[in-house]
Chains A and B, each alone.
Chain A
Amino acid sequence: MTSQTAGLLGLVLVLVAALALTLLSLLFKRFPLPLRNISAFLRIRRAASLVVEDGTRLHVSLGSANLLTPSSASALAGLALVRHLGEVTSLSDHPPITTTGSPTLNLLAQDTLRTAHEAVATEQPFDMNNGRLTGLTPLSYAAGVMPAIRDENISNNVIIGSFGPEVGLLIESADRQKTPVIAASDSLPAQAVLYAATQEPLIGEELFAAGAYTQAGPAHTASLLVQDILRWLVILALLGGAFLKMAGLL
């Protein structure tokens, strides 16, 4: 297969996925799709209502993904969650804070928090310092987040985005404060750490389901179904390839 053919095939796949996403979004607008229970997302929703009631703060850590790399998708999924959580908790005396390890991501996080703040139209002025850049390397980022978890009257932590093993330091810091953590990452080393260190980590593509489970809109639910359809296609292709190889046709 030439690179031109492979490129065209990729483009067709993207176009088909975009079409499916659009059509399913329209469908789910009228007929919402029931989703299976993922307890971590239930806990996020519960945590958001809790912080408004008890006057504490929600902390969302978005990792240090560079927006020019594919790992930015996990941070963008995290931003969809920030938007929703920001709207729910902006009414509280202590609005949520986000911490990031990438300057471009920090700008987006600040803007998302501001948009969520304006959406609920509170009297309180928006504080840009609620979106914080804590360090430019993964470890300095972790070192900067740890005091925020300790000193900012945080009652719940959502850690979602691109991390390395340094995510273990954030979990440990939250554990010391006895504050619950809901965590998800796109990288395998971080997932391994989260599996050992947290009660209910979100594994693999569950990270990208955050929007659908926090009712960000029908497009988020549609994108889950598109993911499932594509996954079955990949499974069929893998099985088909293995079968053809066994039959000596490949």
Chain B
Amino acid sequence: MACYSGPAWRRISQNGRLAVRRIFSILNAVIAIGAGLIVLIGYFVDVQGMMEVRLLLFQWAVIVGGVAVLVGIGNLLSVHLAKLRSRKKGAIYSLVLLFFMVISLLISGTAGLEPLKPILMDGILIPVEVSLMAILSVTLIVAAVRMLRSRTDLSAILFLATVFVVLAGIGFRSFLAQIPVFNELAQSQLVTNILALGGARGILIGVALGTLTTGLRILLGVDRPYGGK
């Protein structure tokens, strides 16, 4: 009877695994690049039949996205179970999360418990998120003050000028309009409509060009975030 546990067999099995992985890697790249090219060409050129294929690919992507949500929830569960098992610092928060995860699943999945859904949403989720927004606004004010203390250069002056413009926009306008220079600036909308918008568009054009080259790197197979290289 053949022995399947010797070093030679292990080497063959390892080489086989590597070969399969390489084949999958190439197959992944071919599928990703092919799908990417179809979607890209379909976006620019209205070729007969291309739109249908594009839509089909999008539908598949949405289905994969839906499955990914389930996998993601599994990941969330696994991370917090591991944290709870190891009794790491902050494990109590993991327990709370898992408890409410089970409650949410029960309420969403059990017939007859639908009236409880709005309570979950309006009574817990939205107030918690609103509280976080409130914390965020305080955090930002603290960060701004900290920035003024640590940076005393041109950027700090620019920041103060921005604060001034924002304050002017939200209610101090009538008071500030009595200052002649400010009144003319406000009427011309030089700061808000020309300088700020121009700057924002400049940044967005830079981001768009970065998006284009990142997409091209993936279409050319240079970057393969979808596995193995």
Contacts and interface: CB of A to CB of B under 8 A. Distances in A.
B132 A14 contact: no
B172 interface: no
B226 to A, nearest CB: 7
Contacts of A132: 75-76, 79
A134 interface: yes
Interface in A111-142: 111-112, 115, 128-129, 131-134, 136-137, 139-140, 142
Residue from A79, A142, A196 with most neighbouring chain B CB atoms (10 Å): A196
Given A21-B220, A151-B89, A169 B132 contact: yes
B140 A193 contact: yes
Given A77-B214, A172-B143, A129 B209 contact: no
A222 B89 CA distance: 45
Interface string A71-106: 001101101100100000000000000000001101
Interface residues on A, range: 35 or more
B217 A21 contact: yes
B210 A77 contact: yes
B143 A205 contact: no
A62 B90 CA distance: 23
B45 A11 contact: yes
A214 interface: no
A203 B203 contact: yes
A14 to B, nearest CB: 7
A241 interface: no
A67 B226 CA distance: 12
Contact of B65 (A68, A197, A211): A68
A166 B94 CA distance: 22
Contacts, number: 195
Contacts of B71: 103, 106-107
A50 interface: no
> Would you call the interface of chain A mostly helix, strand, loop, or mixed?
helix
A168 B213 contact: no
B75 A142 contact: no
Contacts of B129: 137, 139-140
A219 B139 CA distance: 39
Given A11-B45, A193-B140, A103 B68 contact: yes
B79 A80 contact: no
Interface of B: 40-41, 43-46, 58, 61-62, 64-65, 68-69, 71-73, 75-76, 78-79, 82, 88-90, 93, 128-129, 132-133, 135-136, 139-140, 142-144, 146-147, 150, 155, 159, 200, 202-207, 209-220, 222-223, 225-229
Interface of A: 4, 7-8, 10-11, 14, 17-18, 21-22, 25, 66-68, 70, 73-74, 76-77, 79-80, 83, 103-104, 106-108, 110-112, 115, 128-129, 131-134, 136-137, 139-140, 142-143, 147, 150-151, 165-166, 168-169, 171-172, 186, 188, 191, 193, 195-197, 199, 203-205, 207-208, 211, 216-217, 219-220, 223-224, 226-227, 230-231, 234
12 contacts: A11-B45, A73-B214, A79-B225, A83-B225, A104-B64, A111-B226, A129-B78, A133-B72, A139-B132, A208-B214, A219-B222, A223-B217
